[in-house]
Structure 1
Amino acid sequence: MRIVVAHNRYREAQPSGENTIVDAEIAQLTAAGVEVLPFIRSSDEIPTMPKAAKALLPISPIYAPKAQQELSRLLTEHRPDVLHLHNPYPLLSPWVVRTAHKHGVPVVQTVHNYRQVCSSGLYFRDGVICQDCRGRALGVPAIVHRCYRGSRAQSALMATTLAVHRPTWKSVDRFIALTTAVADHLRDYGIPDERIVVKPNAIPDPGQPAPLGEGFLFLGRLSPEKGLDLLLDAWRRHPEGALGPLRIAGDGELRPLVEAAAAERADLSFLGPLDRAGVRAALDASAVVLATSTWHDVLPTVIIEALASGRPVLGTALGGIPYLVGADTPREPAGTGPAAVASAVPGDGRVAPPVGIEAGEAGWVVAPEPAALAAALPVARAGAAALAPAARARYERTFHPDVVTKQLIDIYAGVARTARPA
């Protein structure tokens, strides 16, 4: 099987889990015997582009002529079975879907965010969940609020791009939704069920987990949508030392907030940005991993890393977090939008958590509110040892590369059988 993987890499200065996942997926496919033809562009190329190429950048999200020409040559020469698209912006453009179909090549797209509808891709603005552009032919609110890169002009361009390419997205042969929440987003956009497959990302197996550590770990981008304010507010509601240590690792615009909090309390430490060895050590030292996002976080990779390490997760009931911890029975919690929230899972020897704390197979989810998170912290601390084996089992069954790569190859095979004529 021959697959073109198309992806516009995010800038290396802005760490991207999507870049990491695409690289890992290419390696996993290659190891499984699939011939992968990368069609990769990077936003890091933009500063060194010739002036003529830079002059075309404003229209490239709608139509990137150079990318279409190069892709046409690749498709003509290699005649692949499927084109697998990840991020098309800004140097590829969703037009690559039309180019592939022109050559009779079916298209699969992994949906990493909400950019079919939302110009920023996050459904998040000014510190709160925002879905003002849902159902609109043109995302005027995104323009008014400068949602794309803080620029009204660039927001107008992105909103126009989303309007122009609505038929393009509707023509994609198969969408890969990373979680059940993303599948719901696609259905709301008008994609029929038969063209949606739920398939999460995978991470390499780190091996059998180390013995459970102590306390809590937050590992991720230090930005408003990741819920640092929420976490710190909840943590301060407990006496110092009552919950064991809280370690926070990462970097971002809220770093000063975290550094100040670490200076206030002896039970809170800031680890800064970590390399892979540092991440491994931080996971081993902890008992519970926190995912306190206040937006509909699509698929936080840190949760899969936690499960692979046998660490249960305490998270907010937003986006893909309930799915990842095995707690994605739909229910609408007050004030959180269209979140998927779990029901408790009785019958496995575990004590049902207090009302408002929903138990999943490998962790707990709560409403994104300080009081709810504060109440859940001691529950998670007490229940970590009981859920640790289930966390690792969920990784092996759902997020291991052997499992996920087979799912992806099956998706390719199903789409290739229904390839359209050029």
Structure 2
Amino acid sequence: MRIVVAHNRYRVAQPSGENTIVNVEISQLAAAGVEVLPFLRSSDEIPSMPKAAKALLPISPIYAPRAQQELSRLLTEHRPDVLHLHNPYPLLSPWVVRTAHRHGVPVVQTVHNYRQVCSSGLYFRDGVICQDCRGRTLGVPAVVHRCYRGSRAQSALMATTLAVHRGTWKSVDRFIALTSAVADHLRDYGIPDDRIVVKPNAIPDPGTPAPLGQGFLFLGRLSPEKGLDLLLEAWRRHPDGALGPLRVAGDGELRPLVEAAAAERADVTFLGPLDRAGVRDALTASAVVLATSTWHDVLPTVIIEALASGRPVLGTALGGIPYLVGADTPREPAGTGPAVAASAAAPPSPGGPADPVGRASALPAGILAGEAGWVVPPDPAALAAALPVAAAGAAALAVPARSRYDRTFHPDVVTKRLIDVYASLS
């Protein structure tokens, strides 16, 4: 089997889990015996482009002529079975879908964000969830609010691109939704069920989990949408030391907020940015990993890392988080809250499979127990109520957390599922 993997890498200065996942997926496919032909561009190429190429950049999200020419040559020479597209912006353009189809090559796209509809791809603006462009032919609100790169002109270009390529996206042969929430988003966009496959990302197996540590770990970008202020407000509702330690690792614009909390309380420790060994040590030292995003976080890799390490997760009931911890329930596609909150407020039946200690009905209102953790509405009171529940229940969910990784997120499982998607089209 011969597969073209097409991806526009994000800039090195903009750390991207998507870049990492594409690299890992290419390696996993190659290890499984698939011939991979990378068709990769990087936004870091832009500053060194010739003037003529730079002059075409404003239209490249709609149509990137050089990329289409080079892709045509690649497809003609190698005659691949499938083209697998990740991010097309700005140097590839969704036009690669049309180019592949012109050569008779089916297209698979992994959907990493909400950019079929939202110019920023996040459904998040000015600190809150925003879906003003949902259902519109042209995303005028994105232009008004400068949603793409803080520029009205660039936002207008992206909104126009999304309008022009609505038919292009609807011609994709198979969409890979990383979670059930992304599948909901695609259905809302008009993609039929038979062209959507839910397949998450995988991370390499870190080995047998270490014994459970103590307390909680927040690991990620220190930015508003990750819910760090939500977490700290909930944490302050408990006496210092009552929940064990809270470790916060990462960097970003909210770093001063964490440093202030660490100076204020003895049970908060700021670890700063960590390398891979540091992440491993932080996971080992902790009992529960926190994922308190206040946007519809598509697939936080830190949750998969937690499950692989046998650490249950306490998160918000937004985006892909319920799916990752095995607590996803039917809800409005990428909704802003009511359906999510309603499902989170209804505890599972006592003694059910999501209840590790047989007392799910005794959970405080708003907490939903899943196979590998708990989710709550993005509300300080709900999160504060869930923290002691997670601290008390961590030991019971440590083994189920690792089991969920083995069954759902292990590279052997995920790579086979991806190859099966390719085979269904070739």
Per the TM superposition, whether the score is higher than 0.5 is: yes
Could you list the runs of 5+ residues in structure 1 that have no partner in the other structure? 417-422
Amino acid aligned to 2:121: G
Q: Does 1:295 align with 2:295?
A: yes
CA apart distance, 1:339: 3.8
Q: Give 1:169-318 correspondences, 5 Å limit.
A: 169-318=169-318
Q: Deviations over 1:236-285 (max 9, x none)?
A: 11111111110111111111211122111111111111111011000000
CA apart distance, 1:330: 2.0
- The alignment's C-alpha RMSD in Å is 1.4
How far apart, in 1, do the equivalents of 2:249 and 2:8 lie? Answer: 27
Q: Is the 8 A contact 2:340 2:377 kept in 1?
A: no
CA apart distance, 1:344: 2.5
TM-score (norm 2): 0.96
CA apart distance, 1:375: 0.4
Q: Does 1:413 align with 2:418?
A: no
Amino acid aligned to 1:336: G
SS for the counterpart of 2:290 is: strand
Could you list the runs of 5+ residues in structure 2 that have no partner in the other structure? none
How far apart, in 2, do the equivalents of 1:38 and 1:285 lie? Answer: 38
Q: Is the 8 A contact 2:129 2:336 kept in 1?
A: no
Q: Is the 8 A contact 1:179 1:298 kept in 2?
A: yes
Q: Deviations over 1:285-304 (max 9, x none)?
A: 00000000000110000000
How far apart, in 1, do the equivalents of 2:240 and 2:48 lie? Answer: 51
Q: Kindly tell me: are residues 136 and 337 of structure 1, through their superposed partners in 2, closer, same or farther at Cα, counting changes over 3 Å?
A: farther
How far apart, in 1, do the equivalents of 2:175 and 2:384 lie? Answer: 37
Q: How many residues align?
A: 416
CA apart distance, 1:55: 1.1
Once the two structures are aligned, what percentage of the paired residues are identical?
87
Q: Give 1:380-399 correspondences, 5 Å limit.
A: 380-399=390-409
Q: Specify the alignment match of 2:327 in structure 1.
A: 327
TM-score (norm 1): 0.96
How far apart, in 2, do the equivalents of 1:148 and 1:359 lie? Answer: 36
Q: Does 1:86 align with 2:73?
A: no
Greater shift, 334-343 or 42-51, is seen at 334-343
Amino acid aligned to 2:249: A
Q: Deviations over 1:166-197 (max 9, x none)?
A: 00000000000000000000000000000000
Q: Kindly tell me: are residues 173 and 338 of structure 1, through their superposed partners in 2, closer, same or farther at Cα, counting changes over 3 Å?
A: farther
Q: Is the 8 A contact 1:319 1:339 kept in 2?
A: no
Q: Does 1:375 align with 2:385?
A: yes
How far apart, in 1, do the equivalents of 2:385 and 2:425 lie? Answer: 47
Amino acid aligned to 1:377: L
Q: Specify the alignment match of 1:419 in structure 2.
A: none
How far apart, in 2, do the equivalents of 1:334 and 1:162 lie? Answer: 20
Q: Kindly tell me: are residues 262 and 277 of structure 1, through their superposed partners in 2, closer, same or farther at Cα, counting changes over 3 Å?
A: same
How far apart, in 2, do the equivalents of 1:209 and 1:295 lie? Answer: 30
Q: Kindly tell me: are residues 337 and 3 of structure 1, through their superposed partners in 2, closer, same or farther at Cα, counting changes over 3 Å?
A: farther
Q: Deviations over 1:127-158 (max 9, x none)?
A: 11000000000000000000000000000000
Amino acid aligned to 1:411: V
Of 372, 377, 380 in structure 2, the residue corresponding to residue 362 of structure 1 is 372
Q: Deviations over 1:328-381 (max 9, x none)?
A: 112579962564845526335512122211000000000000000000000000
